[in-house]
Amino acid sequence: MSGDCLLRAENIGFEARGVALLRGVSFEVRAGRRLVILGPNGAGKSLLLRICHGLIAPSQGRVVRAGEGVRAARQAMVFQRPVMLRRSVRANLDHALALQGLSGPDRKARCEAALERFGLMPLAGRGARLLSGGEQQRLALARAWATRPDLLILDEPTSALDPASTRLIEDSLLQFSAEGMALVMTTHDLGQARRLGEEVIFLDRGQILETTPAPAFFSAPVSREARGYLAGELLW
Q: Where are the alpha helices (DSSP H) in the chain?
A: 45-52, 89-98, 104-117, 133-146, 163-178, 190-196, 214-219, 224-230
Highest mean pLDDT among 3-7, 17-21, 49-53: 49-53
pLDDT of residue 229: 94
Residue 41 scores a pLDDT above 80: yes
pLDDT over 80 (residue 235): no
Q: Which residues pair with 62 in a beta bridge?
A: 10
Where are the chain's structural domains?
5-84+149-231, 86-130
> For residue 67, what pLDDT is reported?
75
pLDDT > 90? residue 80 = no
From the number of C-beta atoms within 10 Å of its C-beta (0-12, 13-18, 19+), residue 204 rates as buried
What are 13-28's pLDDT values in tens digits? 999 998 999 999 999 9
CA–CA distance, 28 with 10 (Å, rounded to integer): 9
Provide the residue count of the chain. 236
Among 59-73, 86-100, 142-156, where is mean pLDDT lowest?
A: 59-73
Residue 228 pLDDT > 90, yes or no? yes
- Contact indicator for 199, 34 with CB cutoff of 8 Å: yes
Inter-residue contact 114 to 154 (CB < 8 Å): no
80 CB-near residues (< 8 Å, 6+ apart): 46, 155, 156, 157, 159, 160
Domain spanning 5-84+149-231: CATH superfamily: P-loop containing nucleotide triphosphate hydrolases (3.40.50.300)
Q: Average pLDDT in the 227-233 region?
A: 89
pLDDT tens digits, one per residue of 86-106? 999 999 999 999 988 888 889
Closest to 151 in 3D by CA, of 182, 176, 186: 182
pLDDT confidence of residue 165: 87
pLDDT reading at 223 higher than 60: yes
pLDDT at 28 (0 to 100): 95
Helix (H, G, I), strand (E, B) or coil at 102: coil
Percent of the chain with pLDDT over 90: 82
Give the pLDDT score at 2: 57
Mean pLDDT for 38-67 is 94
Those residues with Cβ within 8 angstroms of residue 220's Cβ, 6 or more apart along the chain or in another chain: none
CB neighbour list of residue 160: distance below 8 Å, 6 or more residues apart: 80, 81, 133
Above 90 in pLDDT, residue 161? Answer: no
Residue 70 is given by DSSP the state G
pLDDT at 100: 87
**pLDDT tens for each residue of 165-197:** 899 899 999 999 999 999 999 999 999 999 999
> Residue 159's pLDDT band (boundaries 50, 70, 90)?
confident
**188 Cβ neighbours under 8 A, 6+ residues apart:** 156, 159
Q: Which of 95, 122, 94, 125 is nearest to 110 (CA)?
A: 94
